[in-house]
Each structure stands twice: as structure tokens, then as C-alpha cells.
A and B are shown apart, each in its own frame.
Chain A
Amino acid sequence: MYLRRYFCSQTAAGHRRRYERPVKQVIKSNFSETLAEIKESIFSSDFVAVSLQKTGGYSAPWQKCLPIDTEETAYLKAKRAAERFQILQFSVCPFSVKASKLIANPYNFQLFPRHEVKVGMPSYSFSCQSSSLTSMALEGFDFNACIYNGISYMSRAQETAAKVQTGSVLLNGGSLLSTSAFSVADVIFSERIKTRVKNWMNGCNNQHKTEDYLISSLRKLVERCENYGSRPSLTIDVCSERQVQLTSEALKEFVNIVLVRPPAKTGVEAIQVVLTSSEEDKNLLVKEIQDLEDEQRRLVSGFREVIDLISTSQRPVVVHNSLNDFTFVHSKFLAPLPPTTNEFASSLLSVFPHILDVNHLMKELGLFNKMNNLSSAISYLNRRFSASMDMEVSYEEVTDCVNVHGHSVMKVCQLFVNLCSILKISLEIPEGGHTQLPALLQRSSNIFCSSDVRDPYNDDVRIWTGKSRTVSLKNLVFLWGFRKGMSTQDLKDALCNSHDVFSEEFDVKMVDRACAIVVFWTPGFSKKFLGIMDSGELFSSKLENMVFEGLKAADYETYGRVCNSAMWKPDLAECLAQATDETEVFSGAKTQQEQSVICWNNDEMINLDEL
């Protein structure tokens, strides 16, 4: 397959072969070797494009990121998806633009959250949507290869939490102790360690003297001498992290020893002191252990190494839908997702300082509805802006060859480069200028647009994609409990003139099958309407009939609470109903809690209670 693709690219785009190569497929067996390769290619390019293939998107229509969502609710929706579903394929493409040419090195990693190190890590279970799996299958995705040979990983948080230490770790003389005072016990401990090591070293150095075998082995037994590889070593038992630090502090004066922490089952158990013959020998040993450590770490962190590489390179990361993709990246490779979008953004930006969203660039061009699909976006751009594109991007030839997995990342690249050239943003970054993005890009980086560009200081939402009219959240009301199968128009007709509040301009849009959102264009009417629904004082029979049939209403805040809660149901109406029920109970509980607080502070009350 590789061969065939190779030939294709050679014949079809022979002269461009210098800039292109097929997407390299990476699985468990060739991961280690690829790691060095991708490291070089990331550091030698200006941008990194990524694209993810997941086991699902959203579970119900309303759980998709909608135009009615604020930044916060959009994040909560993305968060939920990222926590439930799994990444099966992660494509990375480091690329640069040199002399109006795209130079790209795409890689495609198959991932599977196999329990390599610890059961339950990186993931105990994950959700799948059969529609997502089916569409992946149609693209020729090989599930067997993925599940049998996918690369596992561990997030940074998991690695710390699991305290996985399977091999020996070098102990670097951390001098955290300088501030804390030494107690008498500490001094005694240090002195004891020092004398013991001194004696042991003397013993080792005098080994040449002919000593009775019995005595030497007895000495070894008493002094707990062992060998670390070919070098003599001594094991010191410790029982706390502090003693580890004390030991390393105390043994600083000995030049030729290396401290190693052997793998322990629980916490700290011992330190090994290894004696080296010279400075050179010491360096050799240190390097040896470090290599082992690296190998070990690679096994544990798995694919996260690639994420770490992208992060350390500080290259701008180009994605198609930043909110969705980076909630996944954050939850799988960094740490569990924080509860709010602000915390998420700051946490993410500390790892990836520049994130460029192709969707956002599309919107800069005013292309609202053309962004759903990468391929259609590319062809749309080609049709409409072919004149203004002076970039040489040629990847189609390779696309046609075979079903190349992970090709979407190339499309992200291509779309990004095309868009930049239309927007007249130069992507040619001078040598060594990686810390500074082109000014125009700087402006549009790190905007996590979910479905819309919005003013960060304004909480208004759009109701329709592609229309610029925004609505304040205050003017929105969720409606449910109307007759099943009603269309937007039916509902609007039914509401129209059913009450005074519907006499002025208003709009209706369906959120899902059984729930609609009503926009009151006249300020204050939404509140009035909710008040009427709440009090039950209905002034028209038409509305009364609908309420009798089960019509219910809730404000946007209730919707926000639904997004924040743990229980998401397929129908938004059900969730809203539950949330409104809970409000009553919740407010009841709150007042009770306040009472109880007073109770706690009142000594008399407690005494009375105990009597």
C-alpha cells in the first residue's frame, strides 16, 4: 500500500515530491522510531496542524454546540463530549510555507487507551456512537489495527496521580531543605548516614587487600552491600520523603557516588548509593540511568510524548474546530477539564500558547455556513477565490490514490494556507522568529469559537447561523410541552396573538423535537411572559389551552443550569423540566441551610438539641 502510494505521488506529482510524502501511519510497533523523526520535523517547521478522529460527537440534537449557546454553555457541551468519547486517530502535520509552497510532513497515529501500566488508566471505559463508527468504517478505518496495535497514553495528571515508577530514578540533590530548620533527629540521621557511607567506601576501596571470603561476605551482609550493575552499591532504608532529602543533602560531599531510587511498591522505601570509580565513570552511569528513565517514561506517557513535543516547540497549532478538539486534547493528555471556560482557556494556553482556528478564519471571510465540512470548504474557496490564491498547495493527487487515513490533517493545512493567502496573511516566518506570530494571525489566535464569532464582553447570542442579529439572553425563553410534531411555523402561529406579549415582534426556533426557543424582540416581554406562566394568571383562553395541554417555559438561566448538571437526557424538554423542579427544592434547601447555619453558631440551640 505504501509502495503504491509512493508510486502515485512520484508519477502524478513528480516534480513536487520534494515537498510531499504520504501520511506516515504510526502504531505501537513503529512509535519509538517515529518519535525522533517527528521531533525533528516539528522543530524544523513553523506550524503544526492537528486533526482528531473520535468515537462520537454529541448524543442528542440539543447537546450539539448551537448558535444559542454562550461561550460557557458551548464549553460545557464540548467538555461533556470530550469526557465521554475517545480519540481513535490523531493526525499531526508539522508544516511550513517557504517561497509560496506548502511543505508538510503528515503523521497519523492510531490510539487506543490500552491499560499498559495501570488498570483503569488512561480510561476505564468510553462511549461510542454507532453512527460515528459506521462512518469511520466507510472511510476504511481499520478497527482491528487500532484496538490490537493502537498506541496508548497517559495524561500528565494521571501520571502524577498514579506515581508510576517502574524503573530506577536518578536522585538529583534537591536542596529544598535550606529553609526548613534541622531538628536534632535530622542531624543524627544525617551523621549516621554519612559515617555509614564513609565506612562502606573505605571498605570498597580496601577490597584489594586479601580478606577471607567468609569475612568479606559477612561484611557485605552487615553493610548491605550490593552491586548496581558492575558497580558496588549500598542500600539505605528510608521511611519518608524528608529522609530522602536529608540523605541526598548529607551525601553531597562525596563526589564519586550516584544516588538512585529503586522502584518501590508504596511510597519511599530505600535509596541506593552507587560508587563510581571516577568523574567519567559517574557521568557514564548518570547517562545510562537517564536513558533508562526516558525509555520508561516513553512507555508510560505513550502518545502524550507527541503532545509534549508540540507543546515544548511552542509552534502555533492549527485546527479546524478548536473548542471540540482541544477539550479532547486537554482531557485525554493534560488533565481533567476544569468547570469553567476561563479556567480551561488559561490552563490550555499555558501548554499551547498559540492556537489558530480555521473555522475562525473562515468567519473572518464572512463564510458562515460553508464551514461544516472540510472538503466542501476547500472546494468552495477554490471556486470563489481562485484568483486571489497565490499559494501552491497540491495535495489532491495523493488523495486520489488510496484511502489514506489521517488525510484530514492535510486538508486542515491546505484550508489554513488558502485562507491566509486570501486574507493576505503572510505565513513565511523568518529564521528564529518562532516566538512572534504574524501580527494579523496574532489577532485571531486563541479564540475558541464554538459556532460563532462573538464579542467576548457581550453575552448575547445569535439565534440563526449566518444572521448577524444578536439577542440578549434576557429576551430568550425556552418553551416545551406543546403538541408533538409541531413545526416552527405551527408553534409561532399558535402563540401569535395568544397573549399580549406575543403581539409585538417575536421569533421561534426549534432546539430539538420537543423544545423551542422564543425570542422576544421587545425588552421586558420575556420576563412578563415568564411571570404569566409562573403565576398561572392567564388572560387568554388560547394560551390557557396550551398551558392546559402541558406548555411550560423557562429562562436562559435554567438552560445554563441544565448544561452544568450531571444528568443530560436526550430531550432538552425533560432536562429543563427537571431543572425547574429542582430550583424549587434547591431554593427550599438553601433557606433551610441558612437556618441551619444560624443554628450552628448558636450555642444554646445546640445544647437544647443535645438535651
Chain B
Amino acid sequence: MRNNYLVRVLTRATARTLQPVRSLCSAPTAADVELKNVTKSNFEPTLAELRRHVREADFVSIDLEMTGITSAPWREIFEFDRPDIQYLKVKDSAQKFAVLQFGVCPFRWDQHSTSFVAHPHNFYVFPRQEIAGDASSYEFLCQTSSLEFLAKYQFDFNTCINEGTSYLSRSQEEEALKCLESVHKDEVLDVSSNLRNDLDMQLVRMADILFAERMKNVVGEWRAGLLRGGSWGSESQGSLNDVNQKFQTTFFQARPALAVNGLTSRQLKLIKLVTEKHFSDLAYVHVTGESSSRLPLIVYTDSAKDRDILKGEVKACQRKAAEISIKSAIGFRHVIDLLSSERKLIVGHNCFLDLAHVYSKFIGPLPSTAEEFVSAVQTYFPSIIDTKVLLNSDDVLSHIMNKSSTALSNAFNLLCLPPVTPTGTNNGLADIPRVKVDVQVDDQRFSNWNSGAKHEAGYDAFMTGCVFSEACFRLGIDFNPHVPGLVLQHNEKLQKYTNYLYLSWANGDIIDLKTGKSGPDTLGSAIGRRRCWLAKFTFSSMILLWGLPTKLKAKDIRECFYKAFGSGSITSVHHLDETAAFVQFSRAELVSDFLELKDRLERDNNNPMSVVHPLSRILETGCVRAATYETYKEVCLSPLSEVLFTDQAERLGIKGEARLVQSSVDVDGEGDCEGGEITLPTFRELQQSSASVRTSNFQTDRIMDSLRRSAAQ
């Protein structure tokens, strides 16, 4: 295999006279990678440029900078998290945190210079509220350590908040348009009732009466002037000016109109009232002026019919304006729509969370399961490649990586930059030809560049693209296309890795976007498989403990259990945080044994036997709760995020279980509960079982509750 690879490289090099491209860093005057920084001021022209670049691109790499990753320490992804739990945690993160920077970098293969041309774009994004509506979606969480991290790399928060491009997701846009629609419909329907309400407005205060009377005269005079003069005489204009500088005769849609300036809303309301009450041929309308402020006008119309037509026109106009403002609020989403509509290959590095962010910010609320999510993602982005999966799963590449970290910057340094001391040490790597990547920003093209600012989304996206192109090169993929633009997407060598993502790197589970199936890495390299030693967790014989004394270490817990149930009774202990831990029993029946014992110890805690019992060290606080794995899922499902797991469970009112409920309810619930499916018993069964189980069975209550609710719906 290895020989084969070497030969291939050599033949490629000679066949296409691809000179060993070392220009990457060879020039001493290499500059930092240029990025196109995009804010709201240059968004429109950049988008037009980007359309062209994406259309011509072979692939587009992306990267995001967020305000945080986890909303609480226990929301981090652990090795004992089932795939459904992992998805819930990713979902929680994507829902709560904001995206501050979005890096988009289209890569195009240039046949003439036999190099890739990259266009790194660094979009500053900020969820500014541009249109009225639900303000709660414009609230986001910041993880303090993440902000500190960004600050360490000199992230420019001011640019982001002051000038970041805002956005509207597809579902937000739909919602806003629907809302507009219903308002419009209501207005049409309610014209009569509105009129009545306005007429009902009584003139109580003396000032109001006087003002209304005066306005009646002013408007009447103006109207009389119109009718009398025919040419809408200047004398009426003159007299009006005497009365008040605030009135001005103009034209509106080929009709004479009186513009009203600088009055309070109360006064305007009175004018409206007077106009509608006393002048059947005058219409009071608001029009959107040039300065986008609403300008009140009194318009003369020929007849009642003409008046209604005019009012309709004004309404349509207003609606148009509202629609335009919604359209313009879409902002950064145009970039996502572009990537989606061009159906290009998307490349990211460990990008499952990034995709969740993309979905929740620019498409709509995240679905409740990973399967639904990935199938929805596929409809928008048909092919996605994760460079981290690629580097870890492919034999050739994982051999090159040689067990070193596959973190983005490390992979980039190893694959895309020449070794630091090429002279003398001949480790083989130095002589390997590399793919040449030119950076193009605006119309300038740079062949020589140094590394740029890390953790700028644009630069990270660029690095991801470089790693990907180098990886393709090492895999021996021919960039010279027979069909332009589609090479990589349908390359059979890449096909194996397309649409596979790490659900989480922490436990190496990979999700297949095509099927929605997830599980341990099965793609196949030796290094990828190295994680298989990780203990297989039997979720049905795991117990979740919380409310633990904070000083208790995993080994202390293990000792206590060994003393109580014999050594070998538990296989592992995993801390969720300082107050909560998972205990993996070696046999499923020990779970119920433990629950019973715990219950007994807690009930008579003054009994000397209880005090000296080995488990008393764990139960010390007196509020230790125990529950099964499903309770963990329930806690993760909640939108709440208390810092400590124990506080979280308490706020949710989860009391834990005194007995193992499932064994009494769900007879054949022995399976490993893969995919998190539990068959819910029927309502009647539950009622019967809850009658037989006299202890307060919390879980039963919950299931019954949910059934009751679903029945009510």
C-alpha cells in the first residue's frame, strides 16, 4: 500500500511536470494570509463577488467562531454519552450560543498554474434585530472562557457588534411574512370596526375639543380652497400658512394632498377623527416618505370609491415596504442560501457542531433527533466532507499524521507547511511535493504567504481547505477535470468519506448523514479503530448518582461499591461534574439491588448499621439521588442550564428513583436501548402497575403525565 502510494506520487509528479511545489513558504518575504473581512458596509458587493467564486469553485471550506460551546460543564460530551445524548448536547449548544464570525473559503483548481486558488472570506456576523418580532431569538449566551479565548487571539468584538452582518433564518422569514399577511388581512377585515372605534373616541378634554374644532376649520378651508380655485389657489395656501406652518399642500398619486408635520400622535389621531367624520371626500393616510419615516397626509379624492381605491393603494404600498424590509433583513443568510443552491462540496473540520449552528441560525429550529437533523441537512448540503474524519480514517493519511494530533492547526502545519529544518534531516517529508495554493483577495493574488491569524474564522476555513486539498493530493486524486467543477464531489476515493461526520470527537462516534445512523468509527483505519478499546457501555446497567459530596473522587466511589457489593461489582465510575457521576455495574440486577439498599439506608439513617455501612460515605449529604440512564436524557432535553448537574435536576423537579421502574413496567427492557427507543406501555398498563407499586414512582408519574398530555392533545 505504502509503496503503491509513493509510486503514484512520483508518476504524477513526472507525468504532469508538477514541479515540487515548495513555493508555499520558500520566499523570505512571505506575508500573512490576506483575508477578505466582510461587515455590513461591504456585504452587498462582496456577496456578488462571492457568488461568482462559489460557482467556479471545486469545493468550499467553512469555519465558525461562536460565543461558546457548552452552557454548563456537564453539557460537555463524554465518552459514556449515547449518540442521542450527544445530539441533544450539540443541539443545546447550537441553540444557545451565537455565531460571531463565519469563514467561507471557495477553492478553485487553476489548470494553467496547476494550483488551487483560495478566496478566504471572513464574515463578521451579529444577531442584530432588524425587524420587529419575537425578541427572545435575539438573546444569546456567552461562555466566559470562550470569550477569553477569542480575546487571547485578538478577536475584534467591536467590529462584530457594531458592524457585523445580521441575518434572518428561513423560518424566521416565513414567520415574519406570515405575520405581515395576517396583519394585512385583519386590516382589510377590520376597516369598519376600526372606524367605529375611532368614532367612539370621545372628545372629553377642553383642549381636545378646541383643537379638533380648529382642525376642522383648517381642513375645511383647504378643501374649500381646492374646490373654489380649481388651480388650487395660492390664497388658500397663504391663509393656511398663516394658521399654521405645519401644513403644506403637496400631491399624492396625482391627487392634491395636505401634508401634516410635527404634531403629536394624539393630535394626529384627532385630525384623523375629524377628517373621517366630517369630510367624506378626504382620506387620512400614512405614507412612507423618502426618509423612510411615516408621513401623515390628508388627500382629496373625487368620490368615496376613489377614496377606497386610494386607501387600498396606500395599504399595498406599506405592505410592499414591509416586505422589502424583511427581505433586506435576510442579510448573511444569502451566503448560506448560495452555498446550498450551488450544491458544492462543503468541507469543514470537525464540523458537526458548525452544521448545527448553520441549521439553527439560518434554516430553522433544530429537529429533536439526530436522524431528522441529518436528513434535513442533506437536503440543503448534499455533500459534506469532514477533514478530521478523513485524516483519522484513511490509512494513508493517518500514516502521514503518524498519531499526532489532528487538531486543525497541527494538521495544517504537518501537511501543508514544509518542515522547519529541511536541510540535514532527511525524513522523507521534506521532499514530498505539495499542492500549491494561491490566495486571492479582491483582485490580488498571493502565491507566497505565511500563516495568518489563528481562530479568525476566515483563516481557519482557509486552513481546512488547504488540509483537504493536500489530503486529496496525497490520496492521489487527479484535480484536472474531465467535467469541470464536479471532480471532487463524485470522486470514488473521497466517496468513502463523504457525508460522514464525527458526532463528537470526544468519543469518536461517527454519524452517516445519508442514513442518520451513528455509532463507533467503522470507516476503517487502524488509528481510527484505536478508540475501540473504550469500554462498551451497557446503558441499562448504569446508574446516575447526583447530589454527591463534592470531594468524593471516582476511586473513592469505586471503593465504596466494592465494599458493599464485592469487588468487580462495578466496572467503571465516570464523573459528570463534581456533584454527579455515572456508575457502571457489571450485572444489570445490581442496579435494583443498589436502589433498594440505598432506599433502606436512607430510610433508617439513625440506625448504627446504616452509619457504618460502606455506602454511607456516598450518601453522606443526605440528598443523593439515583436514576437510570433515561433520566439523564430527560435532564439533557431541558432547555435549562444550571452550572451544577445537581442544581439542574433539582430545578427540574427530578427526584430520582427509589426502585427500578423499568423492570416492573417494561418486562423485556433488557436490551441495550440503542438509539434511545423505549417502548411506552399503554396507559391502562401503567395505571395498573402504578396501583401495584405503592412507593411513589416518579418515573411512572412522569410517563403517565406525558401520556395524559398527549391524550389531551
Contact = CB atoms under 8 A, between A and B. Distances in A.
Contact of A60 (B135, B157, B197): B135
Contacts of B161: 133-134, 136-137, 143
A56 B182 contact: no
B128 A130 contact: yes
Contact of A130 (B68, B73, B126, B701): B126
B593 to A, nearest CB: 14
Interface stretch (A116-124, A186-194, A537-545): A116-124
B197 A114 contact: no
Contacts of B226: none
B701 A589 contact: yes
Contact of B145 (A115, A134, A490): A115
B151 A124 contact: no
A143 B157 contact: yes
Nearest to A121: B144
A137 B640 contact: no
Contact of A128 (B129, B140, B158, B708): B140
A585 interface: yes
B135 A129 contact: yes
A128 B135 CA distance: 12
Given A143-B158, A593-B696, A596-B694, A59 B144 contact: no
A485 interface: yes
B427 interface: no
A493 to B, nearest CB: 8
Interface in B391-443: none
A605 B143 CA distance: 52
Given A484-B182, A566-B652, A593-B696, A130 B129 contact: yes
Contacts of B143: 124-125
A114 B651 contact: no
B129 A131 contact: yes
B72 interface: yes
B400 to A, nearest CB: 35
Contacts of B67: 128
Nearest to B642: A566
B144 A566 contact: no
Interface string B120-162: 0000001111000011101111111101101100001110011
A216 to B, nearest CB: 41
A125 B141 contact: yes
Contacts of A127: 139-142
Contacts of A119: 145
Interface in A34-69: 55-56, 59-61
A144 interface: yes
B709 interface: yes
Contact of B694 (A112, A148, A605): A605
A476 B68 CA distance: 42
A564 to B, nearest CB: 11
A114 B140 CA distance: 18
Contacts of B145: 115, 119, 124
Given A130-B128, A589-B701, A596-B694, A148 B151 contact: yes
A609 B141 CA distance: 49
B139 A124 contact: no
A566 B651 contact: yes
B139 A130 contact: yes
A128 B142 contact: yes
Contacts of A114: 144, 148
A137 B139 contact: no
Indicate the member of B73, B157, B705 with the most A CB atoms within 10 Å.
B157
A203 interface: no
B13 interface: no
A143 B151 CA distance: 10
B325 to A, nearest CB: 17
A142 interface: yes
Contacts of A61: 135
Contacts of A86: 142
B151 A485 contact: no
Interface in B318-360: none
Nearest to A493: B193
Contacts of A59: 135-136, 139
Nearest to B187: A485
B144 A126 contact: yes
B637 interface: no
Interface string A130-172: 1101101100001110011000000000000000000000000
B41 interface: no
A604 to B, nearest CB: 12
Interface residues of B, number: 50
Contacts of B186: 485
Given A127-B141, A130-B127, A148-B151, A567 B158 contact: no
B111 interface: no
Given A125-B71, A128-B139, A143-B157, A485 B182 contact: yes
Given A124-B72, A585-B705, A134 B128 contact: yes
Contacts of A143: 157-158, 161
A131 B148 contact: no
Contacts of B162: 137
A499 B309 CA distance: 40
B183 interface: yes
A238 interface: no
Contacts of B73: 120, 124
Nearest to B643: A124
Nearest to A55: B142
Q: Chain B CB within 10 Å — which of A112, A113, A134 has the most?
A: A134
B695 interface: yes
A165 to B, nearest CB: 16
A605 B144 CA distance: 53
B135 A131 contact: yes
Contacts of A144: 151, 156-158
Looking at B142, B150, B603, the one whose CB has the most chain A CB atoms below 10 A away is B142
Contacts of B138: 129-131
A127 B639 CA distance: 14
A567 B652 CA distance: 9
Nearest to A150: B151
Contacts of A115: 144-145, 148
A147 B147 contact: yes
A510 to B, nearest CB: 15
Contacts of B142: 55, 86, 125-128
Contacts of A599: 694-695
B238 to A, nearest CB: 35
A119 B142 CA distance: 15
Contacts of A133: 126, 161
Interface in B155-209: 156-158, 161-162, 182-183, 186, 193, 197
Contact of A570 (B136, B182, B641, B695): B136
A596 B696 contact: yes
A128 B160 CA distance: 14
A35 to B, nearest CB: 23
A162 B410 CA distance: 36
A489 B198 CA distance: 11
Nearest to B640: A566
Contact of B640 (A567, A581, A592): A567
Interface in A424-456: none
B173 to A, nearest CB: 17
A124 B639 CA distance: 16
Contacts of B135: 59-61, 129, 131, 570
Given A127-B141, A142-B158, 11 more contacts: A59-B139, A114-B148, A115-B144, A130-B128, A131-B138, A134-B161, A484-B182, A485-B183, A567-B640, A581-B709, A605-B694
28 contacts: A59-B135, A59-B139, A125-B68, A125-B144, A126-B144, A127-B140, A128-B139, A128-B141, A129-B138, A130-B129, A130-B138, A134-B128, A137-B158, A137-B161, A143-B157, A147-B150, A147-B151, A147-B157, A484-B182, A489-B197, A566-B652, A567-B639, A567-B640, A589-B701, A592-B701, A593-B696, A599-B695, A609-B694
Closest 4 CB pairs of A and B: A143-B157, A570-B136, A566-B651, A130-B138
